[in-house]
Amino acid sequence: MKSIFFYLLLCLSILTKAQTNIDTVTINKKLTKLQLETAIVPIDTTKNRIYKLLHQLNHIKNSFTKEERATKTGKAIKKIYTNTVLSLIENVFFNEGKIDSIKYYHSLLEKNNSDYYSLGRTMKYVGFLNNQKNDIANAVKNFNKSIDYFDKANAKIDELETILMLAAIYISYDLPSYVEETIAIFETRFNSYKKELTPEDYRLVEISFKTMKASWISAGGDCKKALSIIKSINLNGVNDINTLADYYEESMFVHLDCGNYDEALTCLKEAYDEKYNNFKEFEQFKNGHYLTIYLEKKDLEKAAYYVDLLKKDSTINENTDISINKSYSNFYKATGNYKLALQYKEKHHHILDSINSLKSKITNDLTIYKLKLNNEVVKLNAQNKSQEIINKRTKEYLIYVFIAIIYILLFTFYRISHIRNKKRYILNLELEKNKEIVALKNLYIQNLSHEIRTPITIIIGYLSLIRQNIFDSAKILDYTNKTLKSSEQLTASLNDFLTLLKLENKKIISSTESKNLGAFLKKIVYSFEGNVTLKRINLYYKTNIKATNKNLTYDYNSLTKIIHNLITNAVKYTHTGETIYVETLVNKNELLITIKDTGIGISEEEIPHIFSRFFQSKEHINSGGFGIGLSLVSELIKNLNGKIDVKSKKNKGTTFTVTLPLDKNNDLQVTENTSDYILINEKEDSEKEKNSKKRNLPKILIVDDNTDILIYLKELLSTEFNCFTCYNGKDGLTLAKAYQFNLVLSDLYMPIMQGFKFKEELNKLDNYKEIPFILMSASPPEETEALKLTLGIDDFIVKPFKAKEIQSRIYNLLENKIYRDKLQNINYDDIEMTSYNSEFVNKVRSIILENLNNSEFSVNDLAIACNYSTKQLGRILQAKTGLSTVKIILEIRLLKAYELILKNEYQTIKEVTFAIGLNSTDYFNKAFTKRFGIKPSELIK
């Protein structure tokens, strides 16, 4: 009480200062006076002052607006009001046994929207008083309400303790079915709350439950099980006196029921030790238990002593205490005083009859309560009350709910589950669609980068060669033409993309001009002569259009794009040595264009999608290009009111047939007998014949699906290397098996077999495991970092690159390979060479990267991290990589610098220098230029 009033005084004196319409001085004076008088005034006087305080708090609450009640001040006043009501209930009404008063103030707390915990406490007090008055049905009802409130308040300890109180009530009136039901409810909740309780609270509740359960089981006659439960309880570290007192008292009952009288005496002494129970009213219970035990032990002398003590206790009412009368009757019978024994036995039976009658009444009351409760659940369900109430009642009293309700719940669950599954299915479809859109977007950006960077590489390369050959007019003319060709190709690719966008928006207008159709078609087909010759593909052409025809007005720009894209596709996906057939026929008022190849073909599943924008075969999804070629062709043909058909078989080839309408009044002349196919390209000399005169030069294999970049790289490197070229990884693998190359330079994205797959297959060849491999791509290096390490790719160069850059990298790798080959012939007795594989090199790389920005990181530090001596580590790395330990550290620093510059992570060269652990910018510039053939300042632009 005192602490409550002090809390009220402190809080109200602070919080009410903000309320201008409240007499804070008067309130503070009254609170101070109340605090001082609490310890000395009678209970009635204190009660009156609490009433006045509640009235004043009510006045304060009611003076607040809705907004003010939501403030910290409003919430604090509400809390003070609740605590004051609880203090009145606990210290006044509960002691006086006034159930109606407690219920009244409980209703006030409900109107005040007090917390569930406070409401649970008030209902608990009502339940206690109901039990004292033997109104068990209402006691059970109010205890259950209290449990519900504690459950909502998440007050697990109070909830569990109240359930145990219910069980104790049922045990005291020997109602086994109710006991078993309550114990089952307790065990279910106790197990589910384990993670939410503190270890100490969990242990105390567990001890209380086990001791009560053991006492109940022993009373039922199962002593073995009861004793087992008692022995399983560990009291080490338990300091709660109430828990300890309850444990020893219940243990005393168990041992007494089981005939262990000495153990019962020991537990009795502990249970009523002064450190646990120092109240005089407990003496009668203690003496009564001693009397019972000594009677069971046949120790009549000690039993007589406790009979005398109990007889002298004026607080004992022999007319109501059943256990005392039973003990007196047994004592006097044992001592031969049958008259008194009979007298107390009659008292015992009289009280027992009263208890049985009360028990019968309690059983009837509980049955009626259960039926009423069951009817309430059914009524609530019939009135469509909230699902929460139905579910809770169903859970608590499942055995009393009609089967019809179960069917309804099952049906409801099915409907909800069905709706949720349907929504989940729709969401998953949308998610997959979004993923597909993102994937197409990323693929488009990747292919756009490839399509732009490759011709830019060629343009930069030829411009560099022009600068190096300023006095050779023939070479300048050749390089200029090739530069212009790459520029035109880049422009054409971008124009194709823009054209497709215009066609979608229906903004394109056909541009017609007058030309000789036969000559025009022949020129387009023959423009591929160079490409198919280099790729060693046979290209055949035939037509029935006479060359002597007059000019025909038509949209030749669209016609060029249609034929060019279809032939380009055929060349791209046709193997070396295979054949492409092109046929152009005029039949009445239609132009028929047929392009047939013996390439890789298209699967039946993908044929319906090949004209969709950005579609690419899953098998060749990273083969480069915008992915708009066939889509553009389809849209252009529709714009010309034509149609396109496709037939294809996997690994057999593909045939595209385009039908375009012509002017009905055209005067085109055709030959009656269509000419035979004409081979438009001559077979090029083999790589072996071309390079026969340069046998002593190192051999380099260059793999790229772009003809122009193959020509450029071959022209750039052929003065110092025997250069062999092919158009995809599969052809490259064939050449690698036929020749022993000193270095392989491959593009990443190619049709038929990509760069990574090509390297993976090369690694299966013993003679290519240690051959330097350079990968070219328009993709940023971070996307391929993991596979680079796994496959053992030596270097990665990003398009566009300069001539000097690619030359420097090739020279460095070949020099390292030569040096490494020499070291392999040296026999080091202290090194087992076969144990040092790529995993060890990767480990070294990881250690260096972890210490990248540490300029003090030395060779000795690296050796310690690898668990080797400096000398041993140097020999291993030289044998494996051809580089000394110092050069390995520098190599990894420079590769990281190259990656940082490409990512634009730093604005200046100085920042990059310090980021990789070097202190000198001049030294970094020299080392970087020597390693990559390009200055870092040029790359950062």
Query: How much is the pLDDT for 919?
Result: 80
Residues 689 and 671 in one domain: no
Whether residue 457 lies inside any domain: the answer is no
Amino acid letter, 917: G
Residues 689 and 745 in one domain: yes
C-alpha span between 358 and 364 (Å, rounded): 10
Please determine, for residue 656, whether its predicted confidence score (pLDDT) is greater than 90: yes
Please determine, for residue 16, whether its predicted confidence score (pLDDT) is greater than 60: no
C-alpha span between 457 and 450 (Å, rounded): 11
Whether residue 199 lies inside any domain: the answer is no
Residues 622 and 704 in one domain: no
Please determine, for residue 284, whether its predicted confidence score (pLDDT) is greater than 50: yes
pTM recorded for the entire structure? 0.43
Whether residue 126 lies inside any domain: the answer is no
C-alpha span between 513 and 519 (Å, rounded): 14
Please determine, for residue 624, whether its predicted confidence score (pLDDT) is greater than 80: no
C-alpha span between 427 and 444 (Å, rounded): 25
Q: How confident is the model at residue 622 (pLDDT cuts 50, 70, 90)?
A: very low
Residues 610 and 745 in one domain: no
Task: Report, as an integer, the average pLDDT of 602-614.
Answer: 77
Task: Report, as an integer, the average pLDDT of 21-48.
Answer: 47
How does pLDDT run across 87-112, given as a tens digit for each residue? 788 778 887 888 888 888 788 788 77
Whether residue 550 lies inside any domain: the answer is yes
- Residue 698: asked if its preceding bond is cis (omega within 30°), the reply is no
Residues 715 and 837 in one domain: no
Which one is predicted more confidently, 31 or 250? 250
- Least confident range from 205-219, 434-448, 655-669, 708-722: namely 434-448
C-alpha span between 457 and 459 (Å, rounded): 6
Please determine, for residue 633, whether its predicted confidence score (pLDDT) is greater than 80: yes
Residues 516 and 653 in one domain: yes
Q: Which of 471, 467, 549, 476 is nearest to 515 (CA)?
A: 549
- Contact call for residues 820 and 878 (beta carbons, < 8 A): yes
Query: How much is the pLDDT for 702?
Result: 94
How does pLDDT run across 59-92, given as a tens digit for each residue? 776 777 767 667 777 777 778 878 888 878 877 8
How does pLDDT run across 175-191, given as a tens digit for each residue? 888 888 888 888 888 88
Please determine, for residue 4, whether its predicted confidence score (pLDDT) is greater than 60: no
Task: Report, as an integer, the average pLDDT of 415-431.
Answer: 77
How does pLDDT run across 662-679, given as a tens digit for each residue? 887 777 777 876 668 888
How does pLDDT run across 449-500, given as a tens digit for each residue? 666 777 788 888 788 788 878 777 777 887 787 788 777 777 776 766 666 6
3-state SS string for 744-813: EEEECCCCCCCHHHHHHHHCCCHHHCCCCEEEEECCCHHHHHHHHHHHCCCEEEECCCCHHHHHHHHHHH
What's the chain's average pLDDT? 76
Q: Domain limits at 779? A: 685-802
Residues 773 and 914 in one domain: no
Most confident of 18-22, 146-150, 899-903, 931-935: 146-150
The residues, ordered by sequence, that sit 6+ positions from 619 with a Cβ below 8 Å of its Cβ are 603
Please determine, for residue 902, whether its predicted confidence score (pLDDT) is greater than 60: yes
Give the distance, in angstroms, between the CA of residue 745 and the centroid of all CA atoms in the same chain.
Answer: 40
Angle at 293 between CA 287 and CA 294, to 5 degrees: 90
Secondary structure of residue 822 in the 3-state scheme: helix
* Domain count within the chain: 3
Please determine, for residue 882, whether its predicted confidence score (pLDDT) is greater than 60: yes
Residues 794 and 832 in one domain: no
Please determine, for residue 303, whether its predicted confidence score (pLDDT) is greater than 90: no
The residues, ordered by sequence, that sit 6+ positions from 507 with a Cβ below 8 Å of its Cβ are none
- Tell which of 743, 768, 802 closes a domain: 802
Residues 714 and 617 in one domain: no
Q: How confident is the model at residue 884 (pLDDT cuts 50, 70, 90)?
A: confident
Residues 522 and 615 in one domain: yes
Please determine, for residue 554, whether its predicted confidence score (pLDDT) is greater than 80: yes
Query: How much is the pLDDT for 836?
Result: 40
Query: How much is the pLDDT for 306?
Result: 82
Please determine, for residue 703, whether its predicted confidence score (pLDDT) is greater than 90: yes
The CATH code of the domain that includes 545 is 3.30.565.10
Residues 671 and 775 in one domain: no
Which one is predicted more confidently, 407 or 205? 205
Residues 547 and 518 in one domain: yes
Whether residue 247 lies inside any domain: the answer is no
- Tell which of 623, 652, 677 closes a domain: 677
Whether residue 340 lies inside any domain: the answer is no
Q: Which residues pair with 319 in a beta bridge?
A: none
Q: What percent of the chain has pLDDT over 70?
A: 74
Which one is predicted more confidently, 17 or 935? 935
The CATH code of the domain that includes 832 is 1.10.10.60
C-alpha span between 714 and 694 (Å, rounded): 14
Q: How confident is the model at residue 370 (pLDDT cuts 50, 70, 90)?
A: low
Whether residue 386 lies inside any domain: the answer is no
Distance set, CA 825 to CA 384, 794, 828 (Å): 91, 22, 9
- Contact call for residues 853 and 916 (beta carbons, < 8 A): yes
Whether residue 903 lies inside any domain: the answer is yes
Which one is predicted more confidently, 808 or 279? 808
How does pLDDT run across 796-827, given as a tens digit for each residue? 888 888 888 888 888 888 877 775 565 454 44
Which one is predicted more confidently, 629 or 731? 731
Q: What percent of the chain has pLDDT over 90?
A: 4
